[in-house]
Structure 1
Amino acid sequence: MEEVDKILIHSLRQAGTAVPPEVQSVRELSPELVVEAAVRCLRAVRPSLGAPLSPRLPPGISARFRLASELAAACQELGFGGDVGYQTFLYSSEHDTRRLLLFLVEKLPRDEGERGAEPPGKSGALLRAIGARIREQLGTPWVPPLCRTPSLQRLQGTAHLQPFTTCPLVLPQSGGSPELQEYFGGAAPPVPAQPPRSGQSPPALLETHAAQLGARHEGEAELGGPGLAPRLPPQEYLERKRLRARLRALESLRQACPPHPQGPPQGPPLDPAWLQGAFGAGGVGGALPKGSRFTRTQHLTHQQDPQVLLQQIQAAAETLQPPEGPEEGSRAAALEAALAGLEAELERCRGRLRGAQLSLSQVEAEVQQGQGALGGLQDSLRLRARALELLPDAQNNLAKLQLVVESSSRRIVSLAGQWERHRGPLLAEYRQLRALRDSAQRESSRRLAETRALLQRSRAAAEEARRKESLHGQLVAELAALPRDVSRAVYTQRILEIVGNIRKQKEEIGKILEDTRALQKEINALVGKLERTFSVTDELLFKDAKRDEVVRKAYKYLAALHENCAQLIRTIEDTGTIQREIRDLEEQIEGETSAKLPASLERILSDCRALREENALLAARARHA
């Protein structure tokens, strides 16, 4: 234990405990040193547990008890499995103190870099390597691809930067016409195959997603914008947005139309030549330098025919009149009313179209039913026509039919016999194959169970191998983290000396056991010899004791001698037992003496007296207050 105590005290000094040089064993540690060592170790192992604790014992008794109780709770939270409490630090024995300090020293990190949350073993080494590589890459400046050296090419790569090139994507939609849904379901190419080059797929997806997000945000903003009530239903929102778009288009047309050269038009609403000159379709200046966004989008996006576009503009401008002050509001209201009427008429037409489609589907279903009924009637008509053909010669036809029925019956019987002749072997073969299938299924089930058990054992073996590899890596990491300043030869010499002492003690114990066995064997032999001798002597003397008085007295003396010798042997055995008990009691006394019970009892009594004095002082203060 002296070597263990020296190593333990050396570790405590390395942890920051101010252990005096004259202290060479755990028995010489005072309660102040034990508390300081425990707090230093806790701070090194887990700072969250040791930071709130003070390494110095306070002068107050109650504060000492509180600090010792907190230390005991921290040790239990750290995983100490022994019995620990405030008495372990204030009135501890040598055995308990050594056990607690050994636990705390084993928990100490091996070096300063191990105090973080980095796990040991292969995972810790991998994390350290990753951190070193990241720090190396962060410390290296970026260099253009053409100027990179081979080492920088391995670090930063050799590929050139690609431009952000996109293309429009056609994404499937949930609503729409059946033709559109059929196109999206079959003919439409997948999204990754739509870009002409594979490198354009990510930019195109990003751009489409950004456009969808922008449209959604725009719709959310318009829900609470000017002219729209906040949080409208989606259908009402779409209707109002459509109406506003149409009004904006009409307003753009009104602003873009120049005044008519002869005033308000009479007869035809608009002259096509005048519209072409007004909107830049002809004339000297060509296209207008400024036009509405609606007309430009219509022209650039859809690429309609100029004559069709002219007709649409003329139809839209038929309802327009030059602004004449107070009549503009009534005209706009009339336009809105006309627009509402047209939309209502359109909805009615759509409803009639849906009703017509429903009626068409019902008529098609009735036609199919009629066709099915017609087929049945045609079969019945054919059968009756055949029967009608047989009516003129009924007797002969009945005889022929009877012959046909009899021949059909005989053929059916013959076929049944043939079927029975074929059915027997086939049924036997079926049963045999079924039995073979059942046996194969049982064999496959057994092999499947064996395979699963083997797989479970292999998984357990793999888990055990991984655990042992992790333990090996942890031990290797701990070995690598051990301090190199201590001479290994000193520890090796100490270990060899301890092993030599243990070997000598083992040899001495073996010799003592051999001597004990030999002595026990000799005692057993002597006891057996004595019993046999006594039996023979007793038998001989008992035969002659009936005839000779001297032999009778000798027999009595022999019995008394045997009894006295047995009592003497029992006395010797009791003496040995008592001596063993005495040695055990002496060892217990030495153990209790080494536990410093008198000093601990004296400390407890002094602490109790000090605690009573503190209580009396506090009570006096409370009375004065």
Structure 2
Amino acid sequence: MMEEVDRILIHSLREAGTDIDEDVQSVKQFTSELIVEAVVKCLRVIDPALGNGLSHSLPPGMSARFRLGMSLAQACQDVGFKGEIGYQTFLYSNEPEIRSLFMFLVEKLPRESAEASDQPAGKSALLQRAIAAQIKEQSSVPWLPPSCRLPIHRKTQSSGPCYSFHAQPLSLPYSVKVSSRKQPKDVQEYWRNYLLPVTAQPSQHASVPASLLENHISELSATQEWESEWNSQGLLSRLTPEEYRSRKKARLQKRIEEQLRAAAQPRPDTHGATRSTSDLAELLQSFGGASTGGDVLTKGTRFTHTEKFTFTQEPEKAAQQMAAAASALPSSHQSEEDLKAQQEAELSALQQQLQQLSVQMEEVGGDIKQLTVSIQQVSDELQQKEVSNGEKENSIKMKRQTIDLLPDTENNLLKLQGLVEASSKRVVHLASQWEKHRVPLIDEHRRLKELCSNRESESSRKLSEIKDLHDKIRQSAEEAKKKESLYKQLLTEFETLSKDVSRSAYTMRILEIVGNIKKQKEEITKILSDTKDLQKEINSLTGKLDRTFAVTDELVFKDAKKDESVRKSYKYLAALHENCTQLIQTIEDTGTIMREIRDLEEQIDTENGKRTVSNLEKILEDYKAIRQENSALAAKIREG
């Protein structure tokens, strides 16, 4: 049974990442180094925050080994181990304590399904797990300066080249938003024939990992943003994802067009407004703007015409001046100093001219601002006067009609009264007709309103159901991916397993173990029943003996008063009863002693299995090593 338990423990420890040789088949064969490594690997799986701070290898110094043993004991107690544990458990181990500790740690390990669902899929799963284990192992080792490194540390802490994180944009032949099938043929041809590999695109080879990580993170963030936006706003719009994207693109394009149109308005303090206006007009046309936009942009004001005339005239003057200067150039025999003096004079003259032009531009700009303000004031006054003129025209019309009615006042009053009465009768008639029509319309309105509210509640309910279904679909897809990755990983591990051992052998072995357990259980039950029967028989015989002795004692005691021989027989009877009681007690004590002897023999076997002698020898060697270390440290202190 212990062999099967040890096999299960060793298999679980190997799954947790412990490097155990194939020759090791029992916990008895575990060395102190292997015990420490297995315990640390299990702690890292159970509680990474607790296990990553522990080293999985024994240090060379004895004091450091004692400290590591105490840290491991405290960590095991922190995860819930209730047994007796200390540094001696790891440095001077015995088989039962180590087995019970490993059984506790294996039970604390997470289940294989939950652990395997987080592992990557495909044939590279084992390689990725090995890489992750190696990275964890290297990250758990503390960094040491080069002068303090041992040969075991120089392999993992070599002073290799270090590079800064510098990412560059990459061109990849795929995209998260648009699939490769929807791309144009010329783009696909460019990808196939002309696009460089990813490793050759950055200017420096050291920037390849950083560029790949940056690109991957940007695509992941874009996907997550799209999913959150679609779940929060896209579903409420009741559109398909393509329609929602197209509408969002149209809105963004419209906003860009409005911003460009606002930026295309001419400003008095900018130079080259005509060129920028035409460029923006072309840009707006490329964005799909109206055809009239170009006319609006190319339409000039008095200031733009003046500016155009000024800047078209100035180059002509400048050309004439340059021509005069060219004609006035000295001959080749003239000195360079004279040429520099002439150039500086021309430069100063041009700078003065530029300053004058800038001053004129500022003055013109101020005049334009004043004219703009005055034009705005005049336009406001004009609108107010037009409104007041309209009101006056309406009052004049009313007064004119009243004046026309004054000559024939009585007839006009009668006519007005008749019109008023007719109007009142018509209003009453229309009101009665409206009441007839209003009642069914109000009922219809109430019915439609109730139907609309029901539909809204139904639509909101269906929308919530759609959201729930969407979440369930996403969860099902994630579970399907995890199960598929688990299936691929298990398939890969199954392919790597040896095919010479069949499942029937394991099944037969399990059935044999179950049969042995069942037989042992039956034997234990039989022994317990026999023990109960014997105890019942002993109890019945003891009671019968006590009753027989009481009756015999009573009968003999009655006759002992009369006859001397009977009195002697009564004494012999009492002595026989006492001797039999002592004999029974002696037999019981003998059985107790035999059980104690068997217990002591088992304890002796257990102590022999604890390797006490070898542990004592090891303790003596460690004690000598500690004394040597202390003497060496004391010598260093004296020298210092």
Normalising by the residue count of structure 2, what TM-score does the alignment of the two structures yield? 0.45
Structure number, greater radius of gyration: 1
Scaled by the length of structure 1, the TM-score of the pair is 0.46
